Amino acid sequence: MADADVIEGRVPFTVPKVDTACFTYYKIIGDLSSNSPRLIVLHGGPGTGHEYLLPFGQLWQSHGIPVVFYDQIGCGASTRLPQTRGDESLWQESLFIAELNNLIEFLHLHDGPGFHLFGHSWGGRIAPAFAASRPEGLRKLILASGVASTETLVEGTRRNRKQLPHETQTALNEEEKQGNFMSPRFREGIDIYLRTYFCRAKPFPPKELLPALKNMSEDTTVRETIAGPSPLNCAGSFRNWTCIPRLHQITAPTLVYNGEFDTSHDNTTKPFFEHISRVRWITFANAGHMCHLEGPEIREKVLSTVGEFLKR
C-alpha cells in the first residue's frame, strides 16, 4: 500500500498514579475522512503490540475500510511503565477502557460514520466490556478468539492440556507446581502447547508474530501484573475478571470467531453467542489462536469473513 495511506501518531494519555507524561501510539491505514466506519483494532497479550494484526490493514484496499491500530499503554511504541510492575490496582479493565475512549475522542472516531471494534485475544476482553457500555458511534463488533471470563479461559486451557501427549502434560504439571516457569522442561512443554493451540503455522513462529514475541519478552510488566508468571493460568489482577453479566447489554451486531484448536476454547467463546442478541459465531477448521497467520488459505477466509461482515 502507498505510504500516503499510512499515518502514525501519538495521543497524550493520563495514567493514574503516574506523574510523567504518557502517550498511546497509533497507526492508521486508510482515509478516516471516507464514508466508511473506521475499524479500531485491539491487540492481544496483554503486551503484544499491534504489529501481528497488520494483515487486517488489507481491509482498506479490499473493502474500503480504514483501520486504526494502536499499542495499548505499557507496551510496543506506547509509554512503558516498568515502575508499575505488581500494581494490580492500576492494571484493571478501567485503564484500558479509558485509553480506548481517549483514542476515540482524539481521532473523532465517534463522529460521522462512526466506528467498528475488533478485539483479538486479550483485546477480546476489553472490546466486549467497552461495547457493553453502548458507546456513541459503535456500529459493529468483532470478537476474534476472545475471552468472556478468566474462569472460562482457565477451564479451556485445562481441557486443551488434556489433549497433549502424556509426557508433555506431566512436565507442565510438575514444573508449574514447583513454579519453575523458566526451566527448560517447562519451556519445552510450553513450546508444544503453543504450536498446537496458539499458532499452528509452519514454520513456527511466522515472521508476522516475531514483533509480538519481542514486545512481550522485552517488558513483562503488563502481562505478569495482569496474568501472573504462568502462560497457562491467571494469577494477576484479572484473576476474577468476567464480562459475562454485561454481554446482554451489547446491541451492536457482533461477529465471533475462533479456531478449531484455539487457546480461546469453545467454552470461553460460547457465552458471547449465548448472551449477545445479534451475533454470529464461526469456527475456522484446522486453525489455532492466530487464525490470520496460519497460512494463506485460512488468512483469506478470515479477512474475507471480517470484511464481508463489516460491509453487510
Catalytic residues, which ones? Answer: 121, 262, 289
Q: What is the C-alpha to C-alpha distance for residues 287 and 196, in angstroms, rounded to an integer?
A: 9
**Residue that the C-alpha cell 498446537 belongs to:** 196
Q: What is the C-alpha to C-alpha distance for residues 48 and 306, in angstroms, rounded to an integer?
A: 22
Length of the chain (residues): 312
**Residue that the C-alpha cell 502447547 belongs to:** 193
Output the DSSP codes for 85-149: TT-TTTSSHHHHHHHHHHHHHHHTTTSTT-EEEEEETTHHHHHHHHHTT--TTEEEEEEES--SB
- Cβ contact 309:142 at 8 Å: yes
Alpha-helix residue ranges (DSSP H) falling in the chain: 59-63, 93-107, 123-131, 150-161, 166-177, 184-193, 210-218, 221-227, 266-275, 296-311
In the chain, % helix, strand, coil (3-state, to 5) comes to 45, 15, 40
Q: Beta 138-144 vs 115-120: how paired, if at all? A: parallel
C-alpha cell at 61: 484496499
